[in-house]
Amino acid sequence: MPDLGGDPIDPLLALDPGARGIARFFQTGGARRAADALRHARRVVLTTGFVVDTGVAETDGPPGAAVLGRALRALGAEVRYVTDAVTAPVLAAALAALGEPDKVVLYPDGPGAAREILARERPTHLVAIERPGRARDGVYRNMRGDDVSEWNAPIDELFVLARRPSYRYRATTIGVGDGGNEIGMGTVRARLVKRGGLAARIASVVRVDHLVVAGVSNWGAYGIVAHLGRAGGRSLLHTPDDERRVVSACVAAGACDGVTRRREPTVDGLPLEAHAALVTLLGLAAQARA
């Protein structure tokens, strides 16, 4: 278990029910730092969606993006979502379940897609939640090591461009992940490579300014929201009933569990009640005295 200091939210994010070994690359204080960076964000572009098979996105990611986007809108930010055609209906369903407007933009085809998005949206902040990040050889891989490049648009190029110091539309970048193969995990790639084997082969090279690691990526997004509410003295986190409704809506829109590959209201092999319970605990942690 990593040294978690006095943060009441970190111990919940560090739970590792999938036994992925996240203690080796957990970022103590990561969710708090991401929340601090987002507190006064003006224009935020959120991306999510990990397509694990032909035409099927997973349930981890879209719920987290919808909950975080709702919180940022409540704080006054303009929020847009960018994803591919497979994930778009799943993300739209998650947003609808929370009563949020459908601001989902499809990532364009072609080599200039990232520049087009950044020039049009001009985000002050970019956030990725459970979105594939390229490995050293340029391939996108799932947790089994399979090449899923065919099914996932190269949305990580937004983050590569936006971090270039001389780029006109530079933005603060935030990544949320749980396995090492997501946008942002380039920040801890050395630790992943040190583990060798599959972890080294799937490790993303795409870095971000602020990395959040959690046992489930949705939880990482919820942790950011919990910190935003804690800092502002207001409730921004969704409810356990919201969690049940959002995940179920994603499945109805075609999503599957990324671990079991079954189309049922579970996330990363964990039952829906486990996620609802985590939301309850995060809500309590957000109210804890500093």
Q: Please, which residues have CB within 8 angstroms of residue 41's CB and are 6 or more apart in sequence?
A: 72, 75, 77, 124, 125, 172
User: Which residues does the chain have with pLDDT short of 70?
Assistant: 1-5, 289-290
Write the class of the CATH domain 22-283: alpha beta
Q: In the 3-class helix/strand/coil scheme, how is 26-45 assigned residue by residue?
A: CCCCHHHHHHHHHCCCCEEE
Tokens of 215: 């046992």
108-106-185 Cα angle (round to 5) = 85
Contact between 133 and 208 (Cβ < 8 Å)? no
The whole-number pLDDT of residue 237 equals 98
Question: What's the CA gap between 193 and 189, in Å, rounded?
Answer: 6
| pLDDT value for 5 | 63
- Burial code (b: 16+ CB inside 10 Å, e: under 16) for 151-166 equals bbbbbbbbbbbbbeee
State the pLDDT at residue 6. 78
What are φ and ψ of residue 205, in 5° steps?
-100, 0
18-50 pLDDT tens trace: 888 899 999 999 999 999 999 999 999 999 999
SS3 label, residue 224: helix
Cα–Cα distance for residue pair 123/173, rounded to 1 Å: 10
User: Which tens digits make up the pLDDT trace of 148-194?
Assistant: 999 999 999 999 999 998 899 999 999 999 999 999 999 999 999 98
